[in-house]
Amino acid sequence: MGSLLITGIGSLVTNDPSLGNGPLGIVTDAAVVVSGEEVVWVGPASRAPAADDAYDAGGRAVIPGFVDSHAHLVFAGDRTAEFDARMSGLPYTAGGIRTTVAATRAASDAELSAGVARLMAEALRQGTTVMECKSGYGLTVEDEARSLRIAAAHTDEVTYLGAHVVPAEYTADAYVELVTGAMLDACAPYARWVDVFCERGAFDGDQARAVLESGVKRGLVPRIHANQLGHGPGVRLAVELGAASADHCTHLTDADVAALASGTTVATLLPGAEFSTRAPYPDARRLLDAGVTVALSTDCNPGSSFTTSMPFCVAVAVREMGMTPDEAVWSATLGGARALRRTDVGRITEGARADLVLLDAPSHVHLAYRPGVPLVSAVWRRGRQVV
């Protein structure tokens, strides 16, 4: 494959402060050269080297592809009625997960795979070039293993979430034994990560610890659903175990925030969940001011957050969670990469994977300034234009 010069970039977000202005390392009147799957040159257009092909960005903005580090895409069925009832005043409970479990168990591999492909294609059109995918709607050894096998056909970022809820046919203790035993044996070969829903009504602190520690023993890296619906031990457990990310972080004590600030665990905020459950948003400002690394993700799932749109999450995070547009765009790109412990994505720098998004706008600020407007004009993933 020949090299490509993308030039005429009015504003380029590199996410490398040494390359440009501010924490996003913004270069104005910029160019990028891509060769094969990689970025090989970044700088002012006036100094760009020659390449085999050229693309004129027309003065518009280019940002790194979004890194969506939290999504539940392997499912069947629909929960429109549950959403509709919630918007008429009913509260969100994680109990709805069981509705999706029943539909998922009844679906064929082909149906589940087509669903993942459709949602990932939808996300790609909105600029997402890396998307994590969890199991968690199978909850039997066979259904969790096939969920992960299907996820692994679509992404490298695969997460074993057998501990999503306790299925009706088990006691909690018996189910934890399964999740940490035979189910883990069947699932570990397909997954990179182990996750648990640590919440009242799902798994308590001791059960969550057992799930994560058993995964670690099998070579999986922990991440956690924590403090979504109320206070609890999940966030502190994540930091103690050196989890890559604690996700949701909606209800935090000062001790939780201090723990996150002292450790390496990223706080991944999921505004789509609060939007779709009409719950108060997490306080990103509080976390950022404490020095916590914050990521933004969609949490795409049929129950609590049925969106694949990272631009939507950026806009809500700016409007409702105290983030500046710069912070929200960083969190949706390099923040997501940090949450997935990836150094090759989330930035536009020499040697990075060539995942780039051209916006139909003069700057990344428009992602929040023009909410709901389809601003993604072109997407390159691994150096190939895919949108």
Q: Which stretch binds Fe ion (CB under 5 A): 101-109, 124-132, 299-307, 358-366?
A: 299-307
Binding mask 211-230 for ligand NIG (x = CB under 6 A): --------------x--x--
Q: Which residues pair with 203 in a beta bridge?
A: 198
Smallest separation (angstroms) from ligand NIG to the CB of 136 = 7
Choose which of 16, 68, 82, 299 interacts with Fe ion (CB under 5 A): 299
Burial class (CB in 10 A: 0-12, 13-18, 19+), 22: exposed
Choose which of 96, 215, 322, 335 interacts with ligand NIG (CB under 6 A): 96
Determine if residue 70 is labeled as part of a ligand binding site: yes
Q: Which stretch binds Fe ion (CB under 5 A): 92-100, 165-173, 252-260, 292-300?
A: 292-300
Q: At what angle do helices 141-152 and 109-125 cross, to 10 degrees?
A: 40
Position closest to ligand NIG via CB? 303
| Span 107-136, contacts to ligand NIG by CB under 6 A | none
- In angstroms, the CA 373 to CA 307 distance is 15
Determine if residue 173 is labeled as part of a ligand binding site: no
Which of 122, 99, 107 shows the shortest CA–CA distance to 74? 107
- In angstroms, the CA 9 to CA 363 distance is 10
Sign of CA dihedral 33, 35, 36, 38: negative
Q: Which stretch binds ligand NIG (CB under 6 A): 59-67, 215-223, 297-305, 373-381?
A: 297-305
The answer to whether residues 71 and 131 touch, using CB atoms and an 8 Å cutoff, is yes
- In angstroms, the CA 336 to CA 269 distance is 10
Residue 178 corresponds to which tokens in the numbers above? 């399964």
Which of 140, 154, 80 shows the shortest CA–CA distance to 104? 140
Determine if residue 154 is labeled as part of a ligand binding site: no
- In angstroms, the CA 336 to CA 338 distance is 5
Position closest to Fe ion via CB? 299
Which of 269, 296, 290 shows the shortest CA–CA distance to 281? 269
| Span 247-276, contacts to ligand NIG by CB under 6 A | 273
Sign of CA dihedral 161, 212, 286, 90: positive
Q: Which stretch binds ligand NIG (CB under 6 A): 47-55, 94-102, 279-287, 290-298?
A: 94-102
Binding site residues, as ranges?
Answer: 70, 72, 79, 137, 164, 225, 228, 299, 301, 303-304
Binding site residues for Zn(2+), as ranges?
Answer: 70, 72, 225, 299
> Interface with ligand NIG by CB under 6 A: which residues?
94, 96-97, 100, 197, 225, 228, 273, 299, 301-305
Binding site residues for Fe(3+), as ranges?
Answer: 70, 72, 225, 299
> Interface with Fe ion by CB under 5 A: which residues?
299
Binding site residues for 4-imidazolone-5-propanoate, as ranges?
Answer: 79, 137, 164, 228, 304
